[in-house]
Structure 1
Amino acid sequence: MMAVAEGKQQRFDDKGGKIDVLGDEILSHVLERLPDRLDRLSWCLVCKRFLSVEASCRQYIHLLRSEILSKVLQRYSQVKNLDLSSCMQITDESLETVARLAGTRLLSLKLIRVRGFTCAGLEAIGRACSSLQEVDLTNCLHVGDATLAGLAQLKNLQSLKIPGCRYVTDTGLGFIAASCKQLKLLNLKWCLGIRDAGIMAIASNCKQLHTLDLSYTEVTDKSLALLATLDHLQNLSLMACNSVNDTALVCLKNGSRSLQRLDVAKCANVSSVGIMALANSSVQLQELTLSYCLPITDMLLESIQQLKNLQGIKLDGCDISGAHVNLIGRGCKDLKEFSVCKCNGVNDRGIIGVIIGCPGLLKLDLTCCRDLTDATMGAIASSCKGLRTLKMEACNLVSEEGLELIGNGCPNLEELDFTDCRVNDNGCKSIARCTALRFLKLGFCMDITNTALVYIGAGCHNLRELDVYRSVGIGDPGVAAIASGCPRLRVLNLSYCELITDSSLMSVAQLQDLMQLELRACVLLTSVGLAYVAASCKKMVELDIKRCAFISDPGILALTQGCPHLRQINMSYTQVTNEGLMAVAKQLSCIQDLKLVHMKHVSVDCFAEALLACGCLKKVKLLTRLRMEMPSHVITQLENRGCRLRWMEKPA
């Protein structure tokens, strides 16, 4: 025993302890098994060696503040994937820093909704980052043809996303087509300057292209005919391409053999003729989206039956009146996803036919199919044992008995949406049998009480998201049951649950993984309760306390100390004063979205100073009258940064 004790003493007395026996490679493998960002941060704080190992292993960085870009890239010398989307502005100098310090090792760069850089900055990236394969410029509204000319230097570019870049034209796309021969994914959604010439250039030069999104562009059948010749094109989205008609689909029928996913939602000039032509071809479609574009007829459904490999079909918003939807179940036996959200004419008979014919269904969206009854629920429970997602918002004919069938028959359900349904406590008892549930929506369910949440908390321990918005029977005991029974909850919506008090927030404080909390119009809450949340929920990113009339500066000050990662907060109609708002501006360095309507205790000068102090601010909502009262140079400066100012005219 003495020898054992001496051995233990020696192990702990040695400088550095036994950990020094482990090489950096072993420590890096240990680090790889810590996916949570805060756990990795804790690792870094253990000792300098752990900090060094983490720095040498890090290959991905999501930066929040551009001013530390140079230091970060110098420290993390192995970074290959860089996301700068949360930075308010990225200048040409910033991109030159990336080019200099990341250089040829950089593989992906994200600049989503970022402003401040010009074509010169991306030219620097193009010259120095020759290995770059993925660039994401989503909603960079100032990006145009000159920018794409700079990116055209990236010979290894495989993925380019520029949705919302309305100044891009066929000229810019021509630069990419001429140089980026390895391009495989191209997203041009909402690029209103794109016409056939640019797409034809891409089709002629980028023979490896497999994913193309042309939604909301002005392309026509002419360019689609050339796209149909691409041997590797698998995914094509033509949503709201109103210059595309049935001729385009005939071209795809005659040319494309690789196409697997096609989206023609909202295409006003696509008819059942084009879809039937495609269905009668050798195209092996796996997913087809026809939402909001044409009436569904029996003839069309009979054609779709021939798509034997079809795994997903979306008919959202279509008129199905008079059609026999059950025809789908006769032919598409491998169907995994079926969606008829907001369709007119959906009834039990049609849906039951699909369910019985497609027992392998994993996702079923029946939102606002108001004529469905417990008969459909029975069919789901008996035929679709592997169902993962079921959405039935506003299906008010489903009763307690229907929910019991689901609870007993679908043990693998991970997502349930019964918003605005006739769900009661006994129904929730049945739902709680679905122990794999991760996402549950029970908003506007007026008949549920605390007992319902007790059942959920006792059965659904893996829950990540719970929405009980406007379910007015919920109070403190129910929230306590959820907090103790669902410790991994990340998103919680309690808005308009007017019975909850600070006691509920004391319970919520147990949820250390909580990232999003909505408490709108929970009128009994005070700053005391909010302070409990702030002290424990360190991962909080989004918070809504609109119309919480008793929340004031002490609660906000607690948030600024305890929740440093907050990016979005709605403080409208609260009692927060100048002190609270300035604390948010100066101490929450990540804040990007503020809603500040009817904050009567905040002065105009404070609004101006606070907004200018929020260096990462991207969106702010204010009363219209402040537009006249706030100094014009403040508004100009915010807009020049890229901050979106929304002026609201709302009653007090």
Structure 2
Amino acid sequence: MGGACSRKRDPQVNEDSLQRGVSGKYCRIGSSKWLGTSISRPALDILQGRGQCPSLMELCIYKIRECLTDVSLKAFQDCALQDIYLGEYPGVSDSWMDVISSQGVSLLSVDLSGSEITNSGLIHLKDCTNLQALNLNYCDQISDHGLKHISGLSNLTTLSFRRNNAITAQGMSAFSSLVNLVKLDLERCPGIHGGLIHLKGLTKLESLNINMCHCITDADLKPLSGLTNLKGLEISRSKVTDDGVAYLKGLHKLALLNMEGCPVTAACLESLSDLPSLLSLNLNRSMLSDDGCENFARQENLRVLNLGFNDLTDACLVHLKGLTNLESLNLDSCRICDEGLANLTGLRHLKCLELSDTEVGSNGLRHLSGLANLESINLSFTAVTDSGLRKLSALSSLKSLNLDARQITDAGLAALTSLTGLTHLDLFGARITDSGTSYLRNFKNLQSLEICGGGLTDAGVKNIKDLTCLTVLNLSQNCNLTDKSLELISGLTALVSLSVSNSRITNAGLQHLKQLKNLKSLTLDSCKVTVNDIKKLQSKDLPNLVSFRPE
């Protein structure tokens, strides 16, 4: 959680802020014949330390990419490449397609996202009859006419056309021949209303993403009723109502259903209760209210329930008592307080609980003390105080705790010292001082730590330097930290992400980071450092650093 600045979240999603080019590279096990990769990892991998050091092949391919043009690409003509990833690579156009298509039946996957490929360019793929995965996200020049050229690729199992304004319902008729399609992604395609009728015969389809297609209505879901292998359906920000949800009753394999922002009411839960495989349900920002919430109790097999940003109050929570298999519950920004939490005491399998931006206070936490399997809890922006945190001290399974609230102080941290299994601790806005950091020594397993309340000096960082498991450390907004702090944490060699923004760090202090060979993300905004000095550090000592600020 958290960044360098205040993180009070806007409940409305800015669709244009979603990153482009983070689609995963298609890669077959055992295949070494592919062109194109990116050394940079998705932001989530950087923050959580899941990325691996690039292999020698990746480094070589990366160097090739630096100078790759339609001319130099000719060297790969007829090379029987299996996987080609050129997503977001500059200059990719129809002139590249001759070389790409020359791979013929060897070609198994292609990603040309964000390119200048047009309808004419897709003609070249007709001989790549073994193609299994095709990614054309953000390709603005592809329209219905282009879809006709891929209609013969019957071996396709994965197809993605995210954010395309030119594809219409009529053009989607080309999909009807893709009988082996397993995954189809049409997120943010505003012209596809009426086109899902062409998916009716795709009985192998398991995943359909039409998130943020505002044109989708109840009638569009009717053709999906026969896709009995469907396991994942995402229809957020659509016009689907309770009537549309009724068409899903026969999808007995459906495990994931995302209806965030849809104008449904609690009445839709009657239909959802007939989905025995449902594991994840997102009704975030829908029109759900207390009325009809008794239908929750019928969904006995539901394991993940997301009700964030709904008009729910404590009265509704009584209907959650029957969901004894529930493992994850999101009540973010719902109008609930301490009394409502009494209804959660029987949810013994609960592992993840989201209570941020609610009216929950210290008294309510007593109802959580018996949830022995709880692994993650978010209490950011609640009324919980230091005294209330003592009620969490017996939750020995707790691994992740978010306490981003100004009223939390050193005393609250002291009350948590028995939670030695914590791996993620977010104290972003809490008023932790140097004295309070002494309690951090009890959390030897911490992998992620954020303390950004402005109360730390170099003296407090001394108590952090021995947390050798840390991969993510955010100490931004502590304006009294100096280069000495970088010296103190120089031994945290597992660090993947480090932020010390708005501090007194200087260029001279950068030398202390040389030992952090795993560092991939470095944020030093509003510090006395220059871009050139960070780049020098990157080139000489930190080869894995792929994201830094200032830049």
TM-score (norm 2): 0.75
Indicate the residue corresponding to 2:377 in structure 1. 492
Higher mean C-alpha displacement, 437-446 vs 266-275: 266-275
Indicate the residue corresponding to 2:292 in structure 1. 402
Larger radius of gyration: 1
- How many Å apart are 1:611 and its aligned residue? 6.5
Contact 2:155 2:178 in 1 (8 A): no
Contact 1:411 1:435 in 2 (8 A): yes
- How many Å apart are 1:507 and its aligned residue? 3.9
- How many Å apart are 1:516 and its aligned residue? 2.4
Aligned residue runs from structure 1 range 78-117, under 5 A: 112=51, 114=53
Unaligned runs of 5+ in 1: 1-83, 87-109, 127-136, 138-142, 149-164
Task: Give the letter for the 1:324 counterpart.
Answer: A
C-alpha distance 404-592 of structure 1, shift in aligned 2 (>3 A)? same
RMSD: 3.7
Distance (Å, rounded) in 1 between the aligned partners of 2:458 and 2:353: 34
Indicate the residue corresponding to 1:450 in structure 2. 338
- How many Å apart are 1:535 and its aligned residue? 4.4
- In structure 1, the residue corresponding to 2:501 is in which secondary structure? strand
1:435 partnered with 2:328: no
Task: Give the letter for the 2:283 counterpart.
Answer: M
**Residue number among 245, 250, 256 corresponding to 1:363 in the alignment:** 256
Aligned residue runs from structure 1 range 34-183, under 5 A: 112=51, 114=53, 122=56, 143=59, 145=61, 147=63, 183=82
C-alpha distance 588-191 of structure 1, shift in aligned 2 (>3 A)? farther
Contact 1:439 1:465 in 2 (8 A): yes
Distance (Å, rounded) in 1 between the aligned partners of 2:340 and 2:74: 59
**Residue number among 530, 533, 548 corresponding to 2:430 in the alignment:** 548
C-alpha distance 180-493 of structure 1, shift in aligned 2 (>3 A)? farther
Distance (Å, rounded) in 2 between the aligned partners of 1:170 and 1:509: 62
1:414 partnered with 2:298: no
- In structure 1, the residue corresponding to 2:425 is in which secondary structure? strand
Task: Give the letter for the 2:290 counterpart.
Answer: E
Indicate the residue corresponding to 2:266 in structure 1. 374
C-alpha distance 529-180 of structure 1, shift in aligned 2 (>3 A)? farther
**Residue number among 226, 241, 248 corresponding to 1:347 in the alignment:** 241
**Residue number among 200, 205, 227 corresponding to 1:332 in the alignment:** 227
**Residue number among 88, 91, 99 corresponding to 1:190 in the alignment:** 88
- In structure 2, the residue corresponding to 1:302 is in which secondary structure? helix
Higher relative contact order (CA 8 A, sep 6+): 2
Unaligned runs of 5+ in 2: 1-39, 43-48, 506-524
Distance (Å, rounded) in 1 between the aligned partners of 2:361 and 2:231: 38
- How many Å apart are 1:208 and its aligned residue? 5.2
Contact 2:483 2:504 in 1 (8 A): no
**Residue number among 412, 430, 438 corresponding to 1:529 in the alignment:** 412
Which one has a larger percent helix, Structure 1 or Structure 2? 1
- In structure 2, the residue corresponding to 1:543 is in which secondary structure? strand
Indicate the residue corresponding to 2:143 in structure 1. 245
How many positions carry a matched residue from both structures? 482
Indicate the residue corresponding to 1:389 in structure 2. 280
Contact 1:238 1:263 in 2 (8 A): yes
- How many Å apart are 1:242 and its aligned residue? 2.3
Identity over aligned pairs, percent: 22
**Residue number among 250, 258, 261 corresponding to 2:155 in the alignment:** 258
- In structure 2, the residue corresponding to 1:324 is in which secondary structure? helix
Indicate the residue corresponding to 1:278 in structure 2. 175
- How many Å apart are 1:494 and its aligned residue? 0.8
C-alpha distance 210-465 of structure 1, shift in aligned 2 (>3 A)? farther
Contact 1:329 1:357 in 2 (8 A): no
Indicate the residue corresponding to 2:421 in structure 1. 538
Distance (Å, rounded) in 2 between the aligned partners of 1:167 and 1:113: 24
- How many Å apart are 1:221 and its aligned residue? 4.3
Task: Give the letter for the 2:367 counterpart.
Answer: A
Contact 1:211 1:235 in 2 (8 A): yes
Contact 1:618 1:644 in 2 (8 A): no
Task: For residues 282-340 of structure 1, give each alpha carbon's deviation from its aligned partner in whole angstroms, at most 9, with x where no partner exists.
Answer: 53323322111232333x23323343443332221113266723433454344333221
Indicate the residue corresponding to 1:162 in structure 2. none
Distance (Å, rounded) in 2 between the aligned partners of 1:445 and 1:629: 38
Contact 1:364 1:390 in 2 (8 A): yes
Indicate the residue corresponding to 2:199 in structure 1. 304
Contact 1:308 1:332 in 2 (8 A): yes
- How many Å apart are 1:365 and its aligned residue? 1.2
- How many Å apart are 1:265 and its aligned residue? 1.3
Task: Give the letter for the 2:428 counterpart.
Answer: K
- In structure 2, the residue corresponding to 1:239 is in which secondary structure? coil
Contact 1:285 1:309 in 2 (8 A): yes
C-alpha distance 179-357 of structure 1, shift in aligned 2 (>3 A)? same
Distance (Å, rounded) in 2 between the aligned partners of 1:619 and 1:643: 12
- In structure 2, the residue corresponding to 1:350 is in which secondary structure? helix
Task: Give the letter for the 2:261 counterpart.
Answer: C
C-alpha distance 231-572 of structure 1, shift in aligned 2 (>3 A)? same
- How many Å apart are 1:544 and its aligned residue? 1.4
Contact 1:144 1:166 in 2 (8 A): no
Indicate the residue corresponding to 2:26 in structure 1. none
TM-score (norm 1): 0.64
Distance (Å, rounded) in 1 between the aligned partners of 2:125 and 2:444: 48
Task: For residues 159-181 of structure 1, give each alpha carbon's deviation from its aligned partner in whole angstroms, at most 9, with x where no partner exists.
Answer: xxxxxx87766688777887675
Task: Give the letter for the 2:353 counterpart.
Answer: L
C-alpha distance 572-146 of structure 1, shift in aligned 2 (>3 A)? closer
C-alpha distance 553-319 of structure 1, shift in aligned 2 (>3 A)? same
1:234 partnered with 2:132: yes
Distance (Å, rounded) in 2 between the aligned partners of 1:306 and 1:327: 13
- In structure 1, the residue corresponding to 2:245 is in which secondary structure? helix
Task: Give the letter for the 2:293 counterpart.
Answer: L
Contact 1:495 1:522 in 2 (8 A): no
- In structure 2, the residue corresponding to 1:587 is in which secondary structure? coil
Contact 1:604 1:630 in 2 (8 A): no
C-alpha distance 178-572 of structure 1, shift in aligned 2 (>3 A)? farther
Task: Give the letter for the 1:314 counterpart.
Answer: N
Distance (Å, rounded) in 1 between the aligned partners of 2:450 and 2:218: 46
Indicate the residue corresponding to 2:446 in structure 1. 566
Aligned residue runs from structure 1 range 473-622, under 5 A: 474-485=360-371, 487-504=372-389, 506-521=390-405, 523=407, 525-540=408-423, 542-549=424-431, 551-559=432-440, 561-584=441-464, 586-600=465-479, 602-607=480-485, 609-610=487-488, 614-615=492-493, 616-620=495-499, 622=501
**Residue number among 291, 307, 314 corresponding to 2:209 in the alignment:** 314
Indicate the residue corresponding to 1:43 in structure 2. none
C-alpha distance 644-320 of structure 1, shift in aligned 2 (>3 A)? closer
- How many Å apart are 1:374 and its aligned residue? 2.7
